[in-house]
Structure 1
């Protein structure tokens, strides 16, 4: 039995049928997993680093008129005017 490296859920696959480089999906957390090794099977979590970085930038602050990100102090000054 193979376990998801993200949530430790059991993934029901035939270990003799999977190939290195194959992409699996965890039935519990829906993470995408790449088979990095067979015999014994080892799974790597496929990360969404690019998506997370974009979300972090959006959460950091608002964009000013010139396209620069505003920090919290600048946002408050704009609200007061």
Structure 2
């Protein structure tokens, strides 16, 4: 009777086996996020709170969290303008 001794995911403490066969920090195996970001489109959206919105800053923060968690859209730049 054989015993399967595979480790559960994450059992190696965040280390992954690199090309050299040695365990390396997981960050070293990932491509640079800047390289990935250069190939993806960027969208510009202008939002204005309605008069009945009591806390526009809090509403914007919730919207950005929802966009990331539900749709995978990350805000890379946010600025407030008075027009």
Which TM-score tier does this pair reach, normalised by the shorter chain?
A: under 0.3
TM-score (norm 1): 0.23
Higher strand share: 1
TM-score (norm 2): 0.23
Higher RCO (CA < 8 A, seq sep 6+): 1
